[in-house]
Amino acid sequence: MKTFCGRANPTTGAMEWLEEDENYDYHQEIARSRYADMLHDKDRNTKYYQGIRAAVSRVKERGEKAIVLDIGTGTGLLSMMAASAGADFCYAIEVFKPMANAAVKIVEKNGFRDKIKVINKHSTEVTVGPDGDMQCRANILVTELFDTELIGEGALPTYEHAHKYLVQEGCEAVPHRATVYVQLVESKRMWSWNKLFPVHVEAEDGEKMIVSPSEMENCPGVPSVCDIQLNQMPSSDFTILSDVVTMFSVDFSKPVRSASTYYRVQLEPIKSGKAQIVLSWWDIDMDPSGMISCTMAPYWVKSTSAFQWRDHWMQCVYFLPNEEPVLQGEKVYLTACRDQYSVWYKLEKARGEEENKADVHVESPVCRCQAHLLWNRPRFGELNDQNRTQQYVKSLMKVLKTDSVCLCISDGSLLPVLAHYLGAKQVQYFFLVFRSLRFTLVFLFFKANHLEDKIKIIEARPELLTSSHLEDKKISVLVGEPFFTTSLLPWHNLYFWYARTAVTSHLTSNVTVLPQSASLHMMIVEFQDLWRIRSPCGTCEGFDVQTMDDMINNSLNFRESKEAEPHPLWEYPCKSLSDPQKVLTFDFRKTVPQHCLSTEGSVNLLRKGKSHGAVLWMEYHLAADISVNTGLMQISNEKGNCEWNPHCKQAVYFFSSVIESETLSDLPSAVTYAINFDTKTGEIAMDFKL
Ligand code: SAH
């Protein structure tokens, strides 16, 4: 059977529905899932085990049979823990069929067939009674349904339903309770992920400023959480304005209400500053006493000895709707609003308590300016990067002439505005957009900067561009950042090359293309932690989970050639084991060739360590000697620690086997590679031999 999967086509920049093998989706889901990461999370696993043992003992001490309901059993791990701890029977519920099948196999292999019943259903479909899925209601409720935001995976409605229909009153719950903590901070770096700062341009006739549309200034943004590895954020990048406070907690052993609500706390700033960001994380207490606690607190809050790396639970960055000046010691109210699946915050100056309560609006924020829908947080950061802007300014100054006719192809780009300020009055500007959302945003920008009649927005796809769109002019300067919102992997922005090819008949014979070319770079690395998400687990807390390893491996190999995956490497420390190497170049001055671009070679290993994989990134050569790098910024010390562009995701290709060496002499001296850019599909396939 075939199914249709939506995917952006890097040769057209458009979303397409591709016919895929029916197994494609679930293989993707398994291959990219966080199951391996969870199984490697020792801190989580041991605490669940302790909590489950304690809950089973409490029930047994009361002289009752221990009947466990495990919602979202995944590999069956928590049910096996319960059975080992002496539970009489476990109902293990799993909605995702391939996982439910895996759980059945794992449960059998570990000898728990008589104690654990795997039910492939959503918990809200589970029935109780003599003919039901469960014989009776459970008296122990075990779940792990949490994401970084705690409630984003639907924990609240699932608990609400389970308490109503599936468990007994007064049941034991593991975890027993979750508590959400917040801290108010000022951070230019993080605020730059949500608001566009004015862009200063040094033009020949003085300094110019690009301003944001007022719609954007006052826009509350989108309610989707920004989850990051906060432990990678240096303390110099933010200023703490308040102590850590408890925002709200949920007791899982009592009926849970999932309906929208709000929580409010009073804060006394410990420092004056601009309140912009609420940092948030949670902990879960596995037992009522709070002695067994698993916390996501960042490094400045908890002792380093408690540190456990994990990627399935991180920390949250919430943007206040607007920045608010706060004064040390002058109380403010912080309100957390939530619906069933997400949380958002607002801050108010302390007035009378009653007065404040009256105007709590729990509706979730809606982006009014389009920018928060079109640009993600890293894209905001990239546009706010003044150094990067300077590279474009310098190169535009080089290429723009008084009689230039300029066409820009990039998504929601400020390049036309920059170019306008830098170019001579006579320069003609066109800006190609091909989706209405982009049209609205670009138009708002041009209006805010009084450029509506200076830059013409063309709403057409590149291949449908006609000379009448261009007022019968030929383009002498074609520019792009390039950036497209549909790009997932670094080379997907090569869509610029395809668009450039499509508009060739409208270009002058000596057209200047900016960037003139791009290059793909590659380096072999050892990850400090990220390797865990791809590493087999074998046994977990004494249970054989190899079936899961095999299943992930099988899904990774579902495609003949494995695929690289995007990761923002500033969040995932690694060290370089080889020098960076340029592996392919793409000449935008020419059209996309018919044939594939391929390369083979080898890269020397220079440092000892584990070769976990290769990292690949793009560099754009704007003009002679001016480049923008989306990958490795520098290798910061002799140990090989890498610094990555903080606004871009890099491509990571994990090697299927890891080579480890204690000494340089044990190392194979080189890794050989074969890399192929298929110009028909816009995809890059690669193979490495260690
Ligand atoms: N309990 C396992 C896996 C946790 S991942 C462990 O701790 O290692 C969460 C799992 O819950 C996923 O496999 C997801 O498919 C499943 N899930 C989430 N909500 C569910 C629900 N309401 N009913 C059934 N399964 C659910």
pLDDT band at 595 (very low <50, low <70, confident <90, very high): very high
Quote the percentage of the chain above a pLDDT of 70. Answer: 93
CATH class (in words) of the domain with range 518-689: mainly beta
Q: How far, in Å, CA of 17 to CA of 640, rounded?
A: 42
User: What is the pTM assigned to this prediction?
Assistant: 0.94
Q: How far, in Å, CA of 474 to CA of 427, rounded?
A: 12
Ligand 1 centroid to residue 339 C-alpha, Å: 21
- Contact between 270 and 184 (Cβ < 8 Å): no
Q: Is 90 in the pocket of ligand 1 (CB under 6 A)?
A: no
**Per-residue confidence (pLDDT) for residue 687, from 0 to 100:** 92
Q: Is 142 in the pocket of ligand 1 (CB under 6 A)?
A: no
| CATH no. of 178-368 | 2.70.160.11
**Per-residue confidence (pLDDT) for residue 247, from 0 to 100:** 98
Condensed to tens digits (0 to 9), the pLDDT of residues 524-533 reads: 999 999 999 9
Task: Please list the active-site residues.
Answer: 144, 153
Residues pairing with 180 in the sheet: 248, 282
- Residue 360 pLDDT > 70: no
- Contact between 580 and 523 (Cβ < 8 Å): yes
Pick the residue whose CA is nearest to atom 5 on ligand 1: 74
pLDDT band at 453 (very low <50, low <70, confident <90, very high): confident
DSSP-H helix ranges across 338-430: 353-358, 371-374, 377-383, 386-399, 415-422
In terms of pLDDT, which residue wins out, 459 or 145? 145
Pick the residue whose CA is nearest to atom 9 on ligand 1: 72
Mean pLDDT over 644-654 rounds to 97
pLDDT band at 559 (very low <50, low <70, confident <90, very high): low
Ligand 1 centroid to residue 487 C-alpha, Å: 30
In terms of pLDDT, which residue wins out, 646 or 365? 646
Query: For residue 143, which atom of ligand 1 is closest to its CA?
Result: 1
Best residue for ligand 1 mutational test, from 71, 120, 537 (most atoms within 8 Å of Cβ): 71
pLDDT band at 548 (very low <50, low <70, confident <90, very high): very high
Query: For residue 70, which atom of ligand 1 is closest to its CA?
Result: 1
Mean pLDDT over 470-498 rounds to 94
Q: Is 45 in the pocket of ligand 1 (CB under 6 A)?
A: no
Ligand 1 centroid to residue 667 C-alpha, Å: 42
Pick the residue whose CA is nearest to atom 13 on ligand 1: 74
Q: Is 160 in the pocket of ligand 1 (CB under 6 A)?
A: no
Of 28-32, 138-142, 259-263, 482-486, least confident by mean pLDDT is 28-32
Ligand 1 centroid to residue 483 C-alpha, Å: 36
Contacts of 215 (CB under 8 A, 6+ apart): 368, 369, 444
pLDDT band at 442 (very low <50, low <70, confident <90, very high): confident
**Per-residue confidence (pLDDT) for residue 28, from 0 to 100:** 75
Q: Which string of DSSP letters, residue by residue, matches 540-580?
A: ETTEE-HHHHHHHHHHHTSSSS---EEE-GGGS-EEESB--
In terms of pLDDT, which residue wins out, 557 or 663? 557
- Every domain of the chain and the residues it spans: 2-32, 34-144, 178-368, 385-514, 518-689
- From first CA to last CA, the distance across the chain in angstroms is 37
CATH class (in words) of the domain with range 385-514: alpha beta
Pick the residue whose CA is nearest to atom 7 on ligand 1: 144
Q: How far, in Å, CA of 108 to CA of 544, rounded?
A: 10
Query: For residue 99, which atom of ligand 1 is closest to its CA?
Result: 13
Torsion angle of C-alpha atoms 636, 640, 646, 651, degrees rounded to 10:
160
Ligand 1 centroid to residue 48 C-alpha, Å: 15
Of 277-281, 310-314, 326-330, 535-539, least confident by mean pLDDT is 535-539
Tell me: cis bond preceding 515? Omega within 30 of 0 counts.
yes
Element (H, E) at 8: strand 2-9
**Per-residue confidence (pLDDT) for residue 552, from 0 to 100:** 87
Of 192-206, 402-416, 550-564, least confident by mean pLDDT is 550-564
Best residue for ligand 1 mutational test, from 144, 163, 310, 551 (most atoms within 8 Å of Cβ): 144
Best residue for ligand 1 mutational test, from 25, 79, 95, 124 (most atoms within 8 Å of Cβ): 95
Condensed to tens digits (0 to 9), the pLDDT of residues 226-264 reads: 999 999 999 999 999 999 999 999 999 999 999 999 999
- Per CATH, 385-514 and 518-689 having the same topology is answered no
* 437 to 92, 404, 442, 444: CA distances (angstroms): 45, 28, 9, 11
Q: Is 499 helix (H, G, I), strand (E, B) or coil?
A: helix
Mean pLDDT over 496-517 rounds to 96
Query: For residue 74, which atom of ligand 1 is closest to its CA?
Result: 3
pLDDT band at 663 (very low <50, low <70, confident <90, very high): low
Quote the percentage of the chain above a pLDDT of 90. Answer: 72
Sign of CA dihedral 664, 668, 669, 673: negative
**Per-residue confidence (pLDDT) for residue 653, from 0 to 100:** 95
Mean pLDDT over 52-74 rounds to 98
Ligand 1 centroid to residue 73 C-alpha, Å: 5
Query: For residue 44, which atom of ligand 1 is closest to its CA?
Result: 7
Q: Is 77 in the pocket of ligand 1 (CB under 6 A)?
A: yes
- Residue 632 pLDDT > 80: yes
Which backbone phi and psi does 634 adopt, to 5 degrees?
Answer: -165, 160
Contacts of 584 (CB under 8 A, 6+ apart): 519, 520, 597, 599, 675, 677
**Per-residue confidence (pLDDT) for residue 203, from 0 to 100:** 77
Contacts of 289 (CB under 8 A, 6+ apart): none
Query: For residue 124, which atom of ligand 1 is closest to its CA?
Result: 22
- Residue 560 pLDDT > 70: no
**Per-residue confidence (pLDDT) for residue 104, from 0 to 100:** 98
Q: How far, in Å, CA of 277 to CA of 274, rounded?
A: 9
- Contact between 66 and 52 (Cβ < 8 Å): no
In terms of pLDDT, which residue wins out, 229 or 450? 229
Q: Is 537 in the pocket of ligand 1 (CB under 6 A)?
A: no
- Measured from the Cβ of residue 629, the count of other Cβ atoms closer than 10 Å reads 18
Residues pairing with 604 in the sheet: 670
Condensed to tens digits (0 to 9), the pLDDT of residues 255-312 reads: 999 999 999 999 999 999 999 999 999 999 999 999 999 999 999 997 666 689 999 9
Pick the residue whose CA is nearest to atom 3 on ligand 1: 74
Ligand 1 centroid to residue 655 C-alpha, Å: 29
**Per-residue confidence (pLDDT) for residue 341, from 0 to 100:** 94
- Residue 350 pLDDT > 80: no
- Contact between 513 and 503 (Cβ < 8 Å): no
Q: Provide the mean pLDDT of the chain.
A: 91
**Per-residue confidence (pLDDT) for residue 359, from 0 to 100:** 58
Pick the residue whose CA is nearest to atom 20 on ligand 1: 72
Ligand 1 centroid to residue 126 C-alpha, Å: 14
Count Cβ neighbours within 10 Å for each residue of 325-341 and write b for 16 or more, e otherwise.
ebeeeeebbbbbbbbeb
Ligand 1 centroid to residue 147 C-alpha, Å: 11
* Residue 642 one-letter amino acid: C
Q: Is 118 in the pocket of ligand 1 (CB under 6 A)?
A: no
Residues pairing with 615 in the sheet: 523, 652
Pick the residue whose CA is nearest to atom 17 on ligand 1: 72
- Residue 611 pLDDT > 70: yes
Ligand 1 centroid to residue 118 C-alpha, Å: 12
Which backbone phi and psi does 123 adopt, to 5 degrees?
Answer: -60, -30
Q: Is 95 in the pocket of ligand 1 (CB under 6 A)?
A: yes
Q: Is 38 in the pocket of ligand 1 (CB under 6 A)?
A: yes
- Residue 664 pLDDT > 60: no
Choosing among 3.40.50.150, 3.40.50.620, 3.40.50.300, 3.30.930.10, the CATH entry for 34-144 is 3.40.50.150
- Residue 328 pLDDT > 80: yes
**Per-residue confidence (pLDDT) for residue 269, from 0 to 100:** 98
Q: Hey, what are 220's tokens?
A: 């509350």
Tell me: cis bond preceding 573? Omega within 30 of 0 counts.
no
